[in-house]
Amino acid sequence: MKPTENVPLSRWTTFGLGGPARWFLEATSRDDVAAGVAWARARELPLFVLGGGSNLLVADSGFPGVVLRVAIRGIRAVGAPEILEVGAGEDWDGFVAHAVALGLGGIECLSGIPGTVGGTPVQNVGAYGQEVSTAIRRVDAFDRQSDRMVTLTPMDLGFAYRRSILNSTAAGRYIVLRVTYELGRDAAPCIAYRDVARVFAASSATPSLQQVRDAVRGIRRDKGMLIVDGDPDCRSAGSFFKNPVIDTAAFEALAGRLDGELPRFPAADGFVKVPAARLIEAAGFARGYRRGGAAISSKHTLALVNRDHATTADVVALAREIRDTVRDRFGVTLVPEPIFLGFAAPF
């Protein structure tokens, strides 16, 4: 590895925003990762581990420490064709395509999600009725506390909705190197989610994994949640807010205050998950609503976009306005999904 100074982080994020990293390192092996950690520590500099930059909002002033980009590649079967060990630097959607081509199910509804494999266990990536926690068998990581390589099991990782120890109780401690997934051979595709089921409603035949993957990518494209060159709605971090989980009594009260249906999705016993986009729209925010150079996507109210030479400050101001309005109207506080780098979380 060769350290590079003052690298603009906007080129490494899907938002296309943010100032420079004081130092930038790229790791293509686990030894590189260990060396990068030691390099930053020896200089008493803060360290941030970068994957695909798809869930990241960087301060306009940048980051005054070391950004370590994990670019470990490779996909290989381990013991059985359906058990795949994948480098943290592999493109996530590329891996999903690879698995579907092999006839392996369990992640087909996670097609089109930007970012790298290493980010998937961090926030238990999920969409359209699937979560990676059901497929992950183990995570190989570098433990910054003990300076050694460790293996984490699903039980160790403590998966929950958009959560694991990697972004909560042990945030910053572990650097993901490789993830091993156990997928389903000859598995039926998941079409439980309403948007996906609607695509196949007119057909009596069971769709293939590839057909479900194509359908999910189409749905994401229509919502501006698929990275497409030239589409201004793609300069975002995807869903900016998590879908809130509320108890059933709060759901009934909330549903009674809204005009029209309030969809509900399964959560833990006594709780339901509701779509943040529905609350944002009911609070009066329309697609395309702007604040400075930042805007709500023209395709989906859950995505905030860099519409017109936005600054990170523009995005934060818009997000705060949405959060505060939804909270004041409905008593539900929306929680952001992106990681904030170079400044304290503004929420």
User: Domain of 59: which CATH number?
Assistant: 3.30.43.10
pTM: 0.90
- pLDDT tens per residue across span 66-88: 999 999 999 999 999 999 999 99
Range of the domain at 313: 232-341
Query: Do residues 64 and 99 both lie within one domain?
Result: no
pLDDT greater than 80 at residue 347: no
Same domain, 88 and 181: yes
Identify whether residues 66 and 79 lie together within a single domain.
no
In a shared domain, residues 60 and 79 = no
Total structural domains within the chain: 3
Average per-residue pLDDT in the chain? 94
Per-residue pLDDT for 19 more than 90?
A: yes
Q: Are 318 and 304 in contact (CB under 8 A)?
A: yes
Looking at the annotation, which residues are catalytic? 162, 239, 337
Mark whether 97 and 59 lie in a shared domain. Answer: no
Q: Helices 209-222 and 92-101 sit at what angle, rounded to 10 degrees?
A: 150
Q: Are residues 83 and 181 in the same domain?
A: yes
Q: Provide long-range contacts, Cβ within 8 A and 24+ apart, for 186-193.
A: 186/103, 187/104, 187/105, 187/106, 188/105, 189/105, 189/108, 189/109, 190/105, 190/108, 190/109, 190/128, 190/129, 190/130, 191/129, 192/129, 193/109, 193/128, 193/129
Q: Is residue 333 part of a domain?
A: yes
42 in a structural domain: yes
For the cut 90, the answer to whether the pLDDT of residue 3 exceeds it is yes
Same domain, 14 and 84: no
Task: Let me know whether 171 and 102 are in one domain.
Answer: yes
Do 160 and 246 fall within a single domain?
no
pLDDT digits (tens, 9 = 90+) for 188-222: 999 988 899 999 998 888 999 999 999 999 999 98
Identify whether residues 66 and 145 lie together within a single domain: no
As a whole number, mean pLDDT of residues 174-197 equals: 94
Residues 180 and 269 in one domain: no
In CATH, what number is assigned to the domain containing residue 320? 3.90.78.10
Secondary structure class of 276 (helix, strand, coil): helix
| Chain Cα centroid distance, residue 196 | 20
Q: Check which CATH number belongs to the domain holding 92 and give it.
A: 3.30.465.10
Domain termination residue (choose one: 70, 88, 115): 70
pLDDT band at 119 (very low <50, low <70, confident <90, very high): very high
